[in-house]
Structure 1
Amino acid sequence: MQAQIPFFQGHRGSRGLFPENTVPAFQKALELGMVLEMDVCISKDQQVVVSHEPYMNALYCVHPDGQKVKKEEEKSLNLYQMDYAQIKSFDTGINGNPLFPQQAHISTYKPLLSEVLEMAETYRKKTGKAVYYNIEIKSDSAEYGISQPQKAEQFCDLVYQVIQSKTDLKYVTLQSFDFKILKTWHKKTVKGKFNPCLLSALVSRKTPDKVIMDLGFIPQIYSPDYRSLTDFELKNCHHLGMKALPWTVNDVKVMEELIRMGVDGIITDYPNLASNLKP
């Protein structure tokens, strides 16, 4: 991550404070000077939708008629089988999220990636402040053709088309747990079909060496679960030429310890806590 990119990233905008992956959450993250971290899925009509799951989550989603989505019906509300107009009709904030008691209860919806980028770029022009994005393609190797496009190339193309039409790729990090996505994006960049952006390998327990071995190239960023990041792995990550961006850190003392260790950034649900820390 280049020096001008903010150290802290607002996870799903500011999930601890506002409904996740919504415009209000991203607005708050911008106010606090965070990188906008988000997830994207694809709708039936091939729109790029900002959502962590490719379905309606029973924790916080509400049907257009006001009924809460039930756990047993989640997977039947598959975003890849719903046009965006139908997706937008579900409320994703009015009931809050029981896992985040400080989260505001406001009526909102799953936005298009284009809407989020337009909002953020307007903010950049109005304020002159830096705006950076960390966009995760939510892809599962078992879900191709089920809750996501049939091929990684199609998924990447749809996301890239929106990004390059709304902002400069120099402000973007593209992340994924699915290495097929990262390999495809890298290949298209090398061939000159995509403008360059930073690539981030999201992992739960995979070591830096294993990431490079499995990808076949060195991504700019190694993004592990913070609980699995040791001093040794951090030093090895840097030795191999990658920056370390752990997720998702919601305790100030842990943030301070990670900063002392020498990480290059931190992803958090509570950007308000991070805004007072000096990396």
Structure 2
Amino acid sequence: MFTLLNWSKWLGIPENYSDHGGNVDHLIDIVHWFMFALFIGWTLFFLFCLWKFRASKNAKASYHGVTSHVTSHLEIGVVIIEAVLLLGFAFPLWWERTDSFEEVQQTDPARVRVVAYQFGFGYHYPGEDGKFGRIDRSLVSRPGDPCIDPDDPNGYDDFVSGILKLPVKRNAILQVTSTDVIHNYSIVPMRIQQDAIPGRDIPMWFMPTKELETYVVCGQLCGENHANMRGVMEIVSQKSFSSWAAEQSKASLEKSQEALEADKAGLASK
């Protein structure tokens, strides 16, 4: 019986891999059952109208229309129902979701800046110190440039990746932005998406529940190669993630130190 009620299975939606995704799938089921009920209701009404006002029984058209106030009462009823849905369900659910962000920030989440561009994604990690380097968007030099200020010590160990790698069963906060047009960063298996807007860092958060390799896509038309705007996402163990992040951070720190020494040598020779 439960399977029969599960619209998300019928619709071919990929398996959920996030802790909140079950609620999203449940909402999809509810919405589609409402849509199904409306479809049946309006179809029956349409068939009734075809029968009630058939030409053989209504040879002469009425030029006065409906004279009662039934339709006005129905319209008021629809407005009341929609207000109840908004005030009683949509707004409280949205408040609950946004309030959870404060709690997530207290759980030592994995943090990543997502930089969308035509036509791909770049990922800026804070390094082992857990601090992002200062962002200066005037430094942009290429599509997807994270614009890390090279003069900020907090950014010396920051590193950039072409794939999104996160630990399983640990909260993740992604700060989503764009360097050109508006994109939509969408992770369907995690049941989450967020518009990427130039000049803004907008947070999105979730907790992966299983290890896997999956995909991310742009969910909003952004140009001629929009259909090819895809990326890779890997969910791995905490141990594997920590080892990978430490290796990447170390390499970035060494590169930054080499650049600083080269700058010092250049100044000394002048």
Whether TM-score is above 0.5 comes out as no
Larger radius of gyration: 2
Give the TM-score band, short-chain normalised: under 0.3
**Structure with greater strand percent:** 2
TM norm structure 1? 0.22
TM norm structure 2? 0.23
